[in-house]
Every structure is written in structure tokens, then in C-alpha cells.
């Protein structure tokens, strides 16, 4: 009887200790307390379910459409300038190119975009779910948006209205998403 009482007390003590550390507490089939694992919840959950409208993962990158790759390559070549060092939302000079129609060399421009706020939290949720890799979990940094359409000309007067194609980059991790519908959906491109 005494051994049974001691085992019961020990089981209750272990169960209460586990419950105090955040686990659930249930009774096992023999009446002993059994700690249950903590279910994933909160901002650091790792359930691998992407937020609505965000596609891809570290293991399954989403290649950008062909018409966006020139702009992505341009920003990559420029080593990803951002709102800290080039300012917010302004035209940025591109590389000179040969115009196929006229044979002349023309200047290209691209719009810098600016800080992307992630107001709905989808990109941070994607990162916190571990879908961009474990080193992105808990990301507290900022994001930069970039336009991907390269125009010929010298500024607003010579170019059409900006289109809906953008990329968004987490500044400190290098995680990049592309969107071709002005942030309705995001596709994870990987780390660049």
C-alpha cells in the first residue's frame, strides 16, 4: 500500500511539473498522470501550412514568370539596395541597352519601390511557419518592395503607368517573394 501511495504521489508530482511547464495533464489508463505534448500555437508555430495566398516553400521554390526575371536580375546585380540607402519610391537608373527597333543604345530605368509593410502579416506567418527555413522563424526585420519591369526613358513622363508585378525581400534574411497581381498572392522564390 505504501509503495502504491508513493508511486501515485510521484506520478502526480511529475504530471504537475509537466503541466507547469506548459504541457497538458491527463490521466493514464492506470490512473497515473501523463503529460501531453504542447500543441503548436502562436506566432512561432511550425505546422508547414502556408498562409492564404502565399505559395511555395524552401523545398519548393516558385520560379518567377519570364517577364519578371530581368528586373529580379537587375536588383540582384545591384546587391539589393533598399529604403535605407536609396530612398523610398523613386526611379533608379538601369543599364543601357540596345533598342532592337532603332539600333540605338537607350537608358533604362526601374522604380525602386519602398518599404513593404506586410500589414496582413502573411509573409511573417510564412516565415514563422518555417516555410522559408528555420533561420527565418521569428523574423522581426523589415521588407523592401521592388518593381520588376524595366523601362526605357528618363522618368515618369516617358513611361507607362507602373504595372502589378513586384518582388518583396526580407532585408536581413534575403527571403524573396514575387507577385504579379499587386500583393493579392505571393510566390516564394527563395533566398537571393
Do both 21 and 74 map to the same domain?
A: no
Confidence at 16, pLDDT banded by 50, 70, 90: very low
Question: Over the stretch 119-170, which tens digit does the pLDDT of each residue have?
Answer: 999 999 999 999 999 999 999 999 999 999 888 765 555 556 678 999 999 9
The number of folded domains in the chain is 2
Does 175 share its domain with 108? yes
Which segments within 45-107 are labelled E, that is strand? 54-55, 91-93, 97-98, 105-106
**Is the residue at 46 inside a domain?**
no
pLDDT at 39: 35
Q: Does the pLDDT value for residue 100 go beyond 90?
A: no
In a domain, 21, yes or no: yes
Predicted pLDDT at 86: 73
Q: What is the DSSP letter of 159?
A: S
Domain region containing 76: 54-191
Yes or no: say if 151 and 159 are a contact pair by the CB < 8 Å rule.
yes
Calculate mean pLDDT across residues 71-84: 88
Instruction: State whether 60 and 112 are in the same domain.
Output: yes
Name the DSSP letter for residue 23.
Answer: -
Asked if residue 28 and residue 79 are part of one domain, the reply reads no
**What pLDDT sits at residue 66?**
92
Task: Name the pTM for this structure.
Answer: 0.69
User: Under 8 Å CB-to-CB from 84, ≥6 apart: which residues?
Assistant: 171
Amino acid at each position: 500500500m505504501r509503495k502504491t501511495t508513493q508511486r501515485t504521489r510521484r506520478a502526480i508530482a511529475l504530471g504537475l511539473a509537466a503541466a507547469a511547464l506548459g504541457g497538458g495533464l491527463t490521466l493514464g489508463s492506470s490512473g497515473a498522470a501523463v503529460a501531453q505534448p504542447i500543441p503548436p500555437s502562436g506566432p512561432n508555430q511550425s505546422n508547414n501550412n502556408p498562409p492564404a495566398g502565399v505559395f511555395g516553400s524552401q523545398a519548393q521554390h516558385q520560379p518567377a514568370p519570364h517577364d519578371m526575371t530581368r528586373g529580379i536580375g537587375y536588383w540582384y546585380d545591384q546587391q539589393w539596395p533598399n529604403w535605407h540607402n536609396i530612398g523610398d519610391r523613386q526611379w533608379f537608373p538601369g543599364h543601357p541597352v540596345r533598342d532592337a527597333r532603332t539600333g540605338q543604345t537607350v537608358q533604362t530605368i526601374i522604380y525602386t519601390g519602398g518599404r513593404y509593410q506586410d500589414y496582413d502579416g502573411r509573409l511573417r506567418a510564412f516565415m514563422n511557419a518555417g516555410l522559408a527555413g528555420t533561420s527565418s522563424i521569428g523574423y522581426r526585420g523589415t521588407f523592401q518592395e521592388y518593381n520588376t519591369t524595366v523601362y526605357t526613358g528618363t522618368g515618369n513622363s516617358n513611361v507607362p503607368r507602373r504595372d502589378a508585378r513586384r518582388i518583396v525581400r526580407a532585408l536581413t534574411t534575403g527571403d524573396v517573394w514575387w507577385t504579379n497581381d499587386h500583393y493579392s498572392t505571393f510566390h516564394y522564390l527563395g533566398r537571393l
